A = this chain, B = another copy of it.
Amino acid sequence: MSSPLPDAALDQLFRTARTYNGWLPKEVTDEQIHRIYELAKFGPTSANSSPMRLVFVKSPDAKQRLKPFLSEGNLEKTMQAPVTAIVATDFAFYEKLPKLFTHADARSWFVGNETLIQSTGVRNGSLQGAYLIMAARALGLDCGPMSGFDQAGVDAEFFAGTQVKSNFLVNIGYGDPGKNLFERQPRLDFDEAAQIA
């Protein structure tokens, strides 16, 4: 049985963590990128389906490939960010279930069931995207998630010939609180969003 994490950790993960729009000039190393994945991969998914696929866009060349597909409001901050993760979903995820789920033939639950493939891929790919954000924050990094981009364009540039479709983008680095940081926006109170029955 575990104890609650200390307040400083809860702050870092949730309460004082912010979506950054500007970045300090400090590299995110390949080793840090691997560490983010090695945490995020453990988050739970349906039948361990693990449909998230990632491109960590880091080199100037790769940033130029991404640039034409960014919305205007996301352009400058994304070009400036140390790394931009393309969080994507592989809708052929079920082909890996013989490795990922050893208790039953889970692959057979999906083959030919396009509705289940879609709903499982979309739900669990997004869950994993959130685990990625939380993993980066847990490692002392800041995030700037975005959904304003040309998904079809990114898919054609980065995932042609596959069943992989982009879901959202996440800038990752060390946030610059002096640059375009929004005021913290309100959240819904418990009673507006939740009930105990």
Contacts and interface: CB of A to CB of B under 8 A. Distances in A.
A3 interface: yes
A30 interface: yes
A9 interface: yes
A160 interface: no
Chain A, interface size: which category? 35 or more
Contact of A99 (B61, B135, B186, B194): B186
A44 B192 CA distance: 18
Contact of A50 (B17, B193, B196): B193
Contact of A44 (B4, B143, B190): B143
A168 B124 CA distance: 10
Contacts of A195: 54-56
B101 A43 contact: no
Given A44-B145, A50-B187, A123-B167, A39 B58 contact: no
A100 B185 contact: yes
Nearest to A122: B122
B52 A193 contact: yes
Interface string A48-80: 101011111111011001000000000000000
B41 A140 contact: no
Nearest to A143: B44
Nearest to A34: B190
A24 to B, nearest CB: 8
B197 A134 contact: no
Given A14-B40, A17-B42, A42-B187, 6 more contacts: A10-B138, A13-B138, A48-B186, A53-B193, A99-B186, A123-B126
The 8 closest A-B pairs by CB, nearest first: A130-B130, A126-B126, A62-B197, A54-B194, A41-B187, A2-B140, A127-B130, A14-B39
